[in-house]
Structure 1
Amino acid sequence: MINFLPGKSLMKFDRQLPFYNWLYPMKGQELDTVSHHEFHSGVGTEGVRTRALYFHIPFCETICTFCTLNRGLGNTGDEQIETYVQALLREIELKGRYASVTGIPIRAIFFGGGTPTTLTADQILRIGHAIRENFDLSALQEFTFEAEVKSVDDEKCAAMREIGVNKVRFGLQSFDPLYRELFNVTATIEQEYAAVELFRRYFDYTSFDMIYGMHGQTFEQFSRDIEYATGMGTPTIELYPITNIVTQAPLHAGYAKRGLQPLGFIDKMAMTIYLNQYLRASGFQQHNGHGFLRLPEGAQPGPDFISRDYLNIYNTHTWSYHDDELIGLGNSAVSQVGKYTVMNDDNRVTYVKNLMENNDVKINLSVGDDIPYERGIVLALPYFGWLDKSRIRWEHIDSEIVDKLGRLVDEKMLIEDEKEYRITELGWIWYVNMMYHLSPATDQAILDDFVALKRRTKGLTDGDNRMLPLLQVTAR
């Protein structure tokens, strides 16, 4: 349990939640595994504002030790990847038959994994053409492709651009040779720089991910990473504190071998505050909870703590309001539709087999008590830094959540006016805990149990997440 601490202090919670994103709502009744057809034949599009598509490509040339997503080894040209692509094309065609899927124009598309650039140029073109044949892309604003710099070239980039990709995102993670080795990031720094130049020639936006707060990381090492990151010249940078409880045991074995100890969460908070100051001094401003936007030369950050000059549109369908929905395609891909959370078969072999032999997908389905009308408050407000009050169906919002919003305003973590709530710098420091705090008690309990379970995982080590002074002072 994480407790809110009102009063004149930086420490607004007694503990820091040790991971940074999750599906919402967590609470839901697990239904029997049902078929793709049974589900999509029975839901509608009433009340839906926008939709995004997610495509999962579960192959990587090498496996990063910080990543626990659904993926396996695979290289461009492998037969197993072609077989998977054929199954994915079947799912695209299958979903295209249902008005419940195609009835809303698509606003954003995201290819993730895994490593989507393990696909060949021809496979990229075939998937892209199938998307255009089966979905309404008249409202498409953003089409993002995750990349690994070792598996990109002009031919693939040209294919990506041909199908409409306008943004590429890749995982650089750290410039430090020690942590790149520990993460099993095998690309060279020269390849990272060359990839950025390649992406600039083909796409409107390029962004990359960095991780900080690793075992043993010093402020000197962190400063070098930030400085090198700003020098890449990309419009945006995404920087995440590492989530130790959802990394792999080999990473922690590497830490232990080198005598590296986990950082406490007060240290990680100090890094986050330092990161904000460093990047603002370098001409950047936050555009969401972990993303930073490069400002035009000579420009100063705007009046709001988080800029609205750039919006990651796909993320508005994950950290979303209740009426912005997500449709996932590929094995283990997640859809969030109304009160339903749907996960495709997470076994790649059976996912492919069922599509190729039965023209169907097994799905695991969870249904909430109602449409999560509060999701914009719980997720979008802390993550994007502002909430449009007119988007919320307030008659469906529990009074406890409204009271919590009032307390966050009183504590100067939020600013409220007639039209919206806006996050402050203090609120941004605690934005993850704010999501937890605004969640219903049932969801908080599920998150608490998840943390307790992960902390018992053999081989994983994490720092102390208590945020109160650890030493008691005895009065004399």
Structure 2
Amino acid sequence: MILNTDPNHKEIVDGVGIYIHIPFCKQACFYCDFHFSTSLKKKDELIDALIEELELRKSEFENDTVATIYFGGGTPSLLSLEEIETILKAVYDNYSVIENPEITLEANPDDLSESKILELSESKINRLSIGVQSFFEADLKLMNRAHNTLEAKQCLELATQYFDNISVDLIYGIPGATHEQWQENIQTVLDFNIPHISSYALTVEPKTALDALIKKGKIEDVDEVHAEAQFHILINQLKESGFIHYELSNFSKPGYFSINNSAYWKGKKYIGIGPSAHSFSGESRSWNISNNSKYIQAIQSKSLPSEIEILSINDKYNEYVMTGLRTIWGVSLQTIATVFGSNFKTYILVQADKYLNEELLYIEDNNLKVTTKGKFLSDGIASQLFKI
């Protein structure tokens, strides 16, 4: 499904989203702090529980139409086509789904054989998000990725023959990776004519294997100055290739914005299915327990294993600012005044004054936006605009 955009890049997003968390991986990437298991012993029970949770929660969307379905993880491409289609059938059986929804499957290169890609292309899956991260063996080894360089290139060669809508993940700021290598990583994706790139700085999360290896001196620590330089290389190289930098970590050819993710950033409702999955109703956030066994047990007893947080007006304002500043659309000062009140508009302008003077923020068409200079710092800037 290709997303239509107007000349101002105001994407058309109708309907709500369903995120399905598949908490299994072949092996643990050293940098990852998402919930997953490398044991597949409970896979069948887990899939049954996902289907049951979809049924248990159908009333939450009884007045809504589903526009996007997203298989994330973990590694959803570990599932067989039959397992994916069984889960999708549960979505269609319990929810009203638009005629041609965006259905994304996150996949790793080592899972994407030609037969697997062909199978997927004949299913309802119409968008692949492929976790390449790097085309250099040293980088892949440092991150403990399950695939190698050859598999990464082969899967893109095959995937582009069967899928039009493909996104590739790349990681920058990897210790030891030069700027020239980073430029080569970007160019390799461009050479495959991939229309969407998601790119993130390598981040050292607490209690990850990467964190432990750095503390033991076995891996060089991440250099933020080095990462920022590569971020700007990314921006410039993709701009020259006709990509739109529509969200801090996301770049797209016109017409290929992620509908699912754009809906998140626009504050649309979504349900998160599976262990550790988050949901947003517009008024509250909830999240499932990050434990496969406890999740399965709760669902089998017809109980939702989740915690709920009711959002205050300050919470809603803070989330709007955080997500808005990360995007091409920015933060609408009119929306701030209308939804939250004139005092919030006054507050954000006072807080933003310093960053406007430093040319890290600017105002265009009554929207507060981050400059190119300020993009790498946007999350930190947003936090200074929060109302506590």
TM exceeds 0.5? yes
- Equivalents in 2 of 1:309, 1:327: separation in Å? 25
SS of the residue aligned with 2:287?
Answer: strand
Alignment of 1:211-290 (within 5 A): 211-246=171-206, 248-250=208-210, 252-253=212-213, 260-290=219-249
Query: Does the CA contact (< 8 Å) of 2:68 and 2:260 recur in 1?
Result: yes
Q: In angstroms, what is the RMSD of aligned CA positions? A: 2.8
Query: Does the CA contact (< 8 Å) of 1:414 and 1:427 recur in 2?
Result: yes
Which residue number corresponds to residue 330 of structure 2? 386
1:310 shift after superposition: 4.1
Which residue number corresponds to residue 30 of structure 2? 65
Q: Does 1:376 align with 2:320?
A: yes
Number of residues paired by the alignment? 372
Q: 1:428 aligns with which of 348, 351, 375?
A: 375
The more displaced of 365-374 and 126-135 is: 365-374
Query: Does the CA contact (< 8 Å) of 2:317 and 2:386 recur in 1?
Result: no
Q: 1:292 aligns with which of 251, 254, 266?
A: 251
1:239 shift after superposition: 1.5
Query: Does the CA contact (< 8 Å) of 1:108 and 1:140 recur in 2?
Result: no
Query: Does the CA contact (< 8 Å) of 1:206 and 1:235 recur in 2?
Result: yes
Which residue number corresponds to residue 4 of structure 2? none
1:393 shift after superposition: 5.3
Instruction: Give the aligned residue type for 1:274.
Output: I
Which residue number corresponds to residue 90 of structure 2? 130
1:314 shift after superposition: 1.5
The more displaced of 170-179 and 145-154 is: 145-154
- Equivalents in 2 of 1:419, 1:131: separation in Å? 40
1:140 shift after superposition: 5.8
Alignment of 1:68-87 (within 5 A): 68-74=33-39, 80-87=42-49
Query: Does the CA contact (< 8 Å) of 1:382 and 1:434 recur in 2?
Result: no
Name stretches of at least 5 consecutive residues in structure 1 with no aligned partner: 1-48, 295-307, 443-476
Which residue number corresponds to residue 88 of structure 1? 50
Q: Deviations along 1:416-456, whole A, 9 cap, x unmatched? A: 3445344432232322222222223x4xxxxxxxxxxxxxx
- Equivalents in 1 of 2:350, 2:95: separation in Å? 42
SS of the residue aligned with 1:107?
Answer: strand
- Equivalents in 1 of 2:24, 2:257: separation in Å? 28
Structure with the greater alpha carbon radius of gyration? 1
Name stretches of at least 5 consecutive residues in structure 2 with no aligned partner: 1-13
SS of the residue aligned with 1:221?
Answer: helix
Q: 1:319 aligns with which of 261, 265, 269?
A: 265
Identity among equivalent positions (%) equals 24
- Equivalents in 1 of 2:23, 2:269: separation in Å? 22
1:85 shift after superposition: 0.7
1:209 shift after superposition: 0.9
Which residue number corresponds to residue 285 of structure 2? 341
Q: 1:114 aligns with which of 60, 69, 74?
A: 74
User: Would the alpha carbon gap of residues 390 and 105 (structure 1) be closer, same or farther in structure 2, given more than 3 Å must change?
Assistant: farther
Q: Deviations along 1:227-248, whole A, 9 cap, x unmatched? A: 3333232111122111113472
1:218 shift after superposition: 2.7
User: Would the alpha carbon gap of residues 215 and 247 (structure 1) be closer, same or farther in structure 2, given more than 3 Å must change?
Assistant: farther
Q: Does 1:367 align with 2:336?
A: no
The more displaced of 402-411 and 336-345 is: 402-411
- Normalised by the length of structure 1, the TM-score is 0.70
1:261 shift after superposition: 3.0
User: Would the alpha carbon gap of residues 316 and 278 (structure 1) be closer, same or farther in structure 2, given more than 3 Å must change?
Assistant: closer
User: Would the alpha carbon gap of residues 156 and 83 (structure 1) be closer, same or farther in structure 2, given more than 3 Å must change?
Assistant: farther
